[in-house]
Amino acid sequence: MPPEARGAFGSRLDLATRYVEWLAGQGALRGLIGPREVPRLWDRHVLNSAAFGGLVPVGSTVCDVGSGAGLPGLVLALARPDLTVTLVEPLLRRTTFLTEVVDDLGLSPQVEVVRGRADALHGRRTFDVVTSRAVAPLGRLLGWSMPLVSPSGMLLAIKGERAEEEVAESESIWGGELPTVRPEVVEVAAVGGGAPTYVVRVAWADPSRVSWPLAPAPRRTGADRTSARKRRRSR
């Protein structure tokens, strides 16, 4: 356990340590964590997931899409007791693991595990913040996640160094099909001084017009698209 973990989890450090033990034990045994990842669970996975917690407003409701082994949703719940977190995961073996961990760590009712696809919740529930980590390319992720974002909420997706390229490649979604602002890439310093975390942050363009089903954004003209390309080249 690196010394920086205490600063990330405070009084819940013991719970975070038990969670890492779950990942290294049953998580690896059940195929949720690769064997090669076990020696670097703290640095590469847990502290990486905790690093962007500062972007989540106090007291938020959070939905973690494609939660897998609980990264980053379960880590956020451990680091931030003020958050209410829903872990959404379609695979039974993963939701079974998550439920067992939540029960063992005594995180209910702060943390809820929901088995299902994100789109099954469309029109039924919304959240202040919707998170994800290495779930899908940004274009697909926006379609799955933005309908879960409340009118004044936001999407926070942990991405790699190609984050800006993914934003550009998904322009037909955020610039046409979904009425959002242009996704913003935020570089978050790693806990302990390692490689930074790149987070794509997306909000609705006009919260007053967000409803279900979503109305598509106005189609942009050729001049609008040319102007957007010029802005990107000038950065």
Per-residue pLDDT of 104-121, as tens digits, reads 999 999 999 999 999 999
Tens digit of each residue's pLDDT (9 = 90 or more) over 133-189: 989 999 999 999 999 999 999 999 999 889 999 999 999 999 888 999 999 999 998
CB-CB contact of 215 with 190 (8 Å): no
Q: How far is CA 17 from CA 9, 36, 64, in A?
A: 10, 19, 21
Give me the CATH number covering residue 179.
Answer: 3.40.50.150
The pTM of this model reads 0.88
Place of tokens 């669970």: 41
Helix ranges (DSSP H) in 58-107: 73-79, 92-105
Longest CA–CA span in the chain (Å) reads 57
Q: CB neighbours (10 Å) of residue 120?
A: 13
Whole-number pLDDT of residue 56: 96
* Domains held by the chain: number: 1
User: Alpha-carbon distance 29 to 20, whole Å?
Assistant: 13
Query: What pLDDT score does 38 carry?
Result: 86
Q: Is the pLDDT of residue 53 over 70?
A: yes
Domain limits for position 216? 4-234
